[in-house]
């Protein structure tokens, strides 16, 4: 199994309270279904406070679309991870989902495809 992370970025669309509630319910059901299939999900919510360090200096300004949440999990391939990402309810609510394979520091990187 390979290690993957979803990086979630909120889109510009402002959701109503009802949409937020419905989205959260759908995400909980989505996660429960994956867990019932044997996936181990390890989610993280990031604070909105941010500080960026770049080659050009430092800034307390956030990027246009900061990462808001992370989800770590295992899948057999990038193709499987992308399939899972495409099934995530957040995309229907304007959330962008980036799929990335990850390894621990010092581990051999996976070959580029």
Q: What is the pLDDT of residues 24-70, one digit of tens each?
A: 999 999 999 999 999 999 999 999 888 878 787 766 655 677 899 99
DSSP 108: P
> For 2-101, CATH number?
3.30.70.1060
Which residue has better confidence, 113 or 2?
Answer: 2
Which has the higher per-residue pLDDT, 77 or 12? 77
Position 10 confidence tier, pLDDT thresholds 50, 70, 90: confident
pLDDT (tens digit, 9 = 90+) per residue, 61-100? 556 778 999 999 999 999 999 999 999 999 999 999 999 9
Centroid of chain to Cα 90: 10
Residue 113's pLDDT is 62
Going through the chain in order, the beta strands assigned E by DSSP cover: 2-9, 42-45, 52-54, 57-59, 67-75, 96-101
d(CA 108, CA 113): 15
Q: Residue ranges of the domains in the chain?
A: 2-101
d(CA 14, CA 61): 20
Is the model more confident about 107 or about 70? Answer: 70
């Amino acid at each position: 199994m390979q290690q993957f992370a979803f990086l979630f970025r909120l889109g510009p669309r402002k959701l109503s309270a009802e949409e937020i509630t419905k989205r959260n319910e759908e995400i909980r059901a989505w996660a429960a279904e994956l867990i019932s299939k044997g996936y181990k999900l390890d989610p993280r919510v990031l604070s909105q406070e941010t500080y960026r360090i770049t080659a050009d200096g430092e800034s307390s300004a956030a990027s246009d679309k900061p990462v808001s949440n992370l989800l770590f999990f295992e899948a057999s391939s990038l193709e499987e991870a992308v399939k899972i990402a495409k099934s995530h309810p957040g995309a229907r609510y304007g959330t962008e989902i980036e799929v990335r394979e990850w390894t621990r520091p010092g581990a051999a990187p996976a070959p580029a495809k």
